[in-house]
Amino acid sequence: MVDRLDELNVGILFVIGGDGTLKGAMKIAAEIARRDLLIGVIGVPKTIDNDIHFIDRSFGFETAYASAVDVIRGAHVEATGAKNGIAVVKLMGRHSGFIACSAAIASTDVDAVLIPEVPLAFDGEHGLFRFLEKRLEQGSHAVIVAAEGAGQELAPVSGQTDPSGNARLGDVGVVLRDRIVDHFKRARVDVTVKYIDPSYHIRSVPASPTDSVYCWHMARHAVHAAMAGNTEMLIGRWHGRFVHVPMELATRYRKQVDTAGDLWMAVVESTGQPLSWGS
């Protein structure tokens, strides 16, 4: 790749993506430095999971959770269409539950949110099963939103990895559907469970106006940063200001939902679910 950049006399490489993309960009930047070439490498954070540190949000996040709200509203209609209807919606979020949390708060139709940061437990007084029983008694329906990385301790482990080296996750949506059906069957309660996985739909929607404007500002600042001679850094907005973040710092670890912070407290207050699942 560096050979080709040098052949084409490219002076600036803009890398657009998330954690894995930025780690790849760091390797390219290291090889450029080893060869003592004058090529700048600038990152533009684009990941719907919003898991890059030291920036308020990445491009694509607002579009993703806004699109997820429409799916949740449809799931709510499905859940209310039958007595004891339960809708399970699986959203993106391998390691961070930002999309699930934001979409749930925005929709106001969600009864339980499951995220990777909060271990899932089915049984016990504060387990998911008991919570669902109470919800069905109160309103005859329930909507569950689960990030794809939630409940992995209860999902079958494949032991496989994707081409980028990431572990292939178990399908928490299928686990939820099957365990809920089995639980209420044993309890002799008739339920109708609908499982919805809108991931590809959400990934394919056009950027929202807010995301489009944000992306334009990041692109403009990325060009200014590169023309000023910066390299191996990404553009981001931090506390309302656009800043330059070293790639090594931004990729050191993933940003996750603070389970003692305001976002998770808002989810708990909105849904009425417990702070954590368990006995």
Q: Which residues are catalytic?
A: 49
- Walk across the sheet containing 192-196 and list its strands: 112-114, 141-147, 85-91, 192-196
- DSSP assignment of the chain: -HHHHHHTT--EEEEEESHHHHHHHHHHHHHHHHTT---EEEEEEB-TT---TTSS--BTHHHHHHHHHHHHHHHHHHHHTSTTEEEEEEE--SS--HHHHHHHHHHS--SEEE-TTS----SSTBSHHHHHHHHHHHHSEEEEEEETTTTTTTSPP---B-TTSPBPPP-HHHHHHHHHHHHHHHTT---EEEEE--HHHHHHSPPPHHHHHHHHHHHHHHHHHHHTT--SEEEEEETTEEEEEEHHHHTSS-----TTSHHHHHHHHHH---SS-B-
Phi/psi for 126 (5° steps) reads: -110, 25
Nearest-5° angle of CA 58, CA 61, CA 63?
Answer: 130
